[in-house]
Structures are given as structure tokens and as C-alpha cells.
């Protein structure tokens, strides 16, 4: 498949990148690893005039960690590099396990954490070729006015289908954004707009530069569960990330639960922390949080497997992830 014509700009600094974004306005599009952007360009989902290629910005591909300042990951850090980081693996197991499930090893060698946090939302009526979409007559998200997932609706339900975001939400991460008005730092949860058509709060001319995980999250137990059909390559069809601080008595001091791939955004389960804090594990409590997860998660026919099943798996994996976190297990499971 060919791509429409565009030029590629390769800035040497963040400032230059911002200048390019400012100069080209809506005609500019950011490319990092390219694993999401290039197939989308080949499907003619976007028609940028200029691609601003961030790969030359080596300064954005560093990982630093200290017990005092926490973890900082440059946005251009590849997913493979992130997995190789001892600090990430040892101190933030939920992040390592989530990132380890992204696509496959070769995609992770290219894809970046910034790119993964800025993924396009996905829908089986949208992630199709120009030929396919033209035969369909488009959809609400692109070239049409009908939503094929929720006909009659005017809201786009394309699903947020990233794996790193729920883990980072569960780690209470913040992100750093550079823009024409300078840098700003916001909680990651405020980055996602839960709108399939307008997914992230990245303004015109802005650029994600780094992810911060607070120091207090270091060493936090964490589990990521991913529902997918194949054990590699596939995007999540549902995902649950849990982090938990448990004292010696087995009492939860702090916990976060986030879900992915069942809404247009990765979402924290709002009540989970309050309910879990100060409590010991019990089947009733875990069931209550799992029920809350499926009140938040609203899978629709955007992907493979039925919404009913995916909803049920959100429930089940929330339960399992909480049990594992409480028992002190780390890692990921399908």
C-alpha cells in the first residue's frame, strides 16, 4: 500500500521540533517509532503534509531512576529499552509486565513509550484500508457520519488499545508535555479524554516528552492481565493493571486498578483505592472492586471476541489481578 505524499522533518532539538509543529499547524503529525503511524498512513487514515520525526531526539530516550526522584522515562525510549531497565523491572513490575505484552519483540524494538501512550484508538470499522472504508462509506471517526458500533449515536467508541497506559495509571504517573507556551506536567489520567475521535489532551503544537512515576511507587507490587487471542502481536481486547502496597499484616495501604481496551480511554476504577485502603483481602471486597471495574468498562463491538465476554473478562481479571497483588505476586498473565 502506498502512502500519500508528505515530507519528513528531523529536528535536532525539542525546540526545533516545537517550531516545526508550530510552523505546520494541523498539517504536521508526530512520528516516533512508526509502528502505529505508518500502517495508519498506509491505510490513508491521515494526510499530513509534514511528519515530524522525533527519532533524532536522543535526549528523549533516557531512563533515570532514584529513590528520591522516582522514575523518569524519556518519551522516545523504545519499549525494548524500557524492558531492559533493571530499575523498571525491579521497582515497577506492573510497567515491565504490561510493556512486555505489547505486540512482539520487533515491534517493541521500534515502538516508544511516548508513542504507546499516544496510540490511535482502534475499531474494526476504522483500522481498515482506504479501499475497505470507501466501500463502507466511512464511519463517524473518518470520512462518514455513521457509527457502525452504535448506530444512530454521535459518539465514537473506538477503543483505547494500549498496554502501558493502564500500568502507568496504576502507578499514578505524570507526563511532561512541551508546547508553544512552555512545558507542563499533568497527571496521566488527565491526558485521556475518553472520546474515540479525540483521544488525548495534546494541544496543537504540543509534544509528549517524558513520563514520571513518583518515588513512592518504587517497589510497589503490580500485576497486568491482558486478554488477547494470540500470545504475541495482538493488541489487548481487555486489560487490567493493579498496583498495591500491602503491609506485613496483609492490610492494603494503597491500591490502584486501571483497565484498558474496553473504553475510548484507559481508565482508573475510581472507587477502588478508597475501598481497598486499610482493608485485608476478602472475596467480598475483591468482588466489589471487580464489579466496579465492569461498571467502568464498556466494551462494544470494536474488536474481536464478544462485548459480553470481554466484560466478563474485565471482571475476572480484575479479581485475579487483585488476588495476585495481595499475595505478593508480580508479573503478567493472559
CB 226 within 8 A of CB 236: yes
Nearest distance in Å: CB 101, other proteins: 11
Residue 19 exposed, middle or buried by CB count within 10 Å (0-12, 13-18, 19+): middle
CB 52 within 8 A of CB 30: yes
Residue from 1, 22, 186, 201 in contact with other proteins (CB under 8 A): 1
> How far, in Å, CA of 10 to CA of 31, rounded?
10
* Strand pairing report for 221-227 and 331-333: parallel
Residue 55: other Cβ atoms inside 10 A: 16
Question: Percent helix, strand, coil in the chain (nearest 5)?
Answer: 35, 25, 40
State yes or no: residue 31 binds other proteins (CB under 8 A): yes
Q: Which is nearer to other proteins, 80 or 243 (CB)?
A: 80
28 Cβ partners below 8 Å, 6+ apart?
A: 20, 21, 48, 49, 50, 51, 52
State yes or no: residue 271 binds other proteins (CB under 8 A): no
Residue 195 C-alpha cell reads as 472520546
Nearest distance in Å: CB 304, other proteins: 7
> How far, in Å, CA of 17 to CA of 178, rounded?
10
Report the site for other proteins in 231-250 (rule: CB under 8 A).
231-235
Residue from 16, 34, 179, 281 in contact with other proteins (CB under 8 A): 34
Nearest distance in Å: CB 310, other proteins: 9
Residue 227 exposed, middle or buried by CB count within 10 Å (0-12, 13-18, 19+): buried
State yes or no: residue 285 binds other proteins (CB under 8 A): no
Report the site for other proteins in 299-318 (rule: CB under 8 A).
304-306, 308-309, 312-313, 316
Q: Which is nearer to other proteins, 190 or 231 (CB)?
A: 231
Residue from 14, 38, 202, 251 in contact with other proteins (CB under 8 A): 38
Tell me which stretch binds other proteins (CB under 8 A): 51-59, 203-211, 288-296, 323-331.
Answer: 51-59
Q: Which is nearer to other proteins, 35 or 164 (CB)?
A: 35
Residue 286: other Cβ atoms inside 10 A: 19
Q: Which is nearer to other proteins, 44 or 220 (CB)?
A: 44
Nearest distance in Å: CB 213, other proteins: 25
Report the site for other proteins in 114-153 (rule: CB under 8 A).
124, 128-129, 131-132, 134-136
242: β partners: 223, 257
Nearest distance in Å: CB 230, other proteins: 5
State yes or no: residue 4 binds other proteins (CB under 8 A): yes
CB 91 within 8 A of CB 82: no
State yes or no: residue 104 binds other proteins (CB under 8 A): yes
Report the site for other proteins in 78-97 (rule: CB under 8 A).
80
> How far, in Å, CA of 142 to CA of 65, rounded?
41
- The binding site for other proteins (CB under 8 A) comprises 1-8, 10, 31, 34-35, 38-39, 41-42, 51, 53, 55, 80, 103-107, 109-110, 124, 128-129, 131-132, 134-136, 227, 229-235, 304-306, 308-309, 312-313, 316, 334
Amino acid at each position: 500500500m502506498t502512502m500519500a505524499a508528505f515530507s519528513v522533518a528531523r529536528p535536532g532539538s525539542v525546540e526545533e521540533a516545537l517550531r516545526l509543529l508550530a510552523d505546520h499547524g494541523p498539517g504536521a503529525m508526530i512520528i516516533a517509532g512508526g509502528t502505529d503511524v505508518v500502517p495508519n498512513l498506509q491505510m490513508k487514515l491521515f494526510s499530513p503534509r509534514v511528519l515530524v520525526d522525533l527519532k533524532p531526539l536522543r535526549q528523549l530516550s533516557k531512563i533515570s531512576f532514584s529513590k528520591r526522584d522516582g522514575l523518569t522515562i524519556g518519551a522516545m525510549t523504545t519499549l525494548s529499552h524500557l524492558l531492559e531497565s533493571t530499575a523498571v523491572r525491579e521497582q515497577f513490575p506492573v510497567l515491565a509486565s504490561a510493556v512486555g505484552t505489547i505486540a512482539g519483540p520487533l515491534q517493541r524494538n521500534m515502538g516508544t513509550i511516548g508513542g504507546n501512550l499516544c496510540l490511535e484508538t482502534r475499531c474494526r470499522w476504522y483500522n481498515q484500508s482506504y479501499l475497505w472504508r470507501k466501500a463502507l462509506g466511512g464511519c463517524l471517526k473518518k470520512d462518514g457520519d455513521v457509527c457502525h458500533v452504535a448506530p444512530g449515536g454521535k459518539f465514537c467508541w473506538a477503543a483505547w488499545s494500549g498496554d502501558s497506559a493502564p500500568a502507568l495509571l496504576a502507578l499514578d504517573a505524570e507526563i511532561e508535555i512541551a508546547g508553544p507556551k512552555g512545558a507542563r506536567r499533568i497527571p496521566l489520567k488527565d491526558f485521556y479524554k475518553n472520546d474515540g475521535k479525540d483521544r488525548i489532551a495534546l494541544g496543537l503544537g504540543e509534544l509528549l516528552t517524558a513520563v514520571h512515576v513518583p518515588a513512592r511507587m518504587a517497589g510497589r507490587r503490580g500485576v497486568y492481565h491482558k486478554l488477547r487471542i494470540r500470545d504475541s502481536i495482538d493488541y489487548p481486547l481487555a486489560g487490567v493493571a493493579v498496583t498495591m502496597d500491602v503491609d506485613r499484616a496483609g492490610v492494603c495501604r494503597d491500591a490502584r486498578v486501571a483497565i484498558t481496551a474496553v473504553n475510548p480511554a484507559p481508565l482508573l476504577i475510581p472507587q477502588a483505592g478508597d475501598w481497598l485502603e486499610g482493608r485485608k483481602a476478602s472475596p467480598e471486597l475483591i468482588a466489589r472492586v471487580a464489579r466496579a471495574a465492569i461498571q467502568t468498562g464498556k466494551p462494544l463491538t470494536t474488536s474481536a471476541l464478544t462485548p459480553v465476554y470481554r466484560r466478563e473478562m474485565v471482571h475476572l481479571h480484575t479479581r485475579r489481578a487483585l488476588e495476585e497483588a495481595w499475595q505478593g505476586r508480580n508479573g503478567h498473565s493472559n
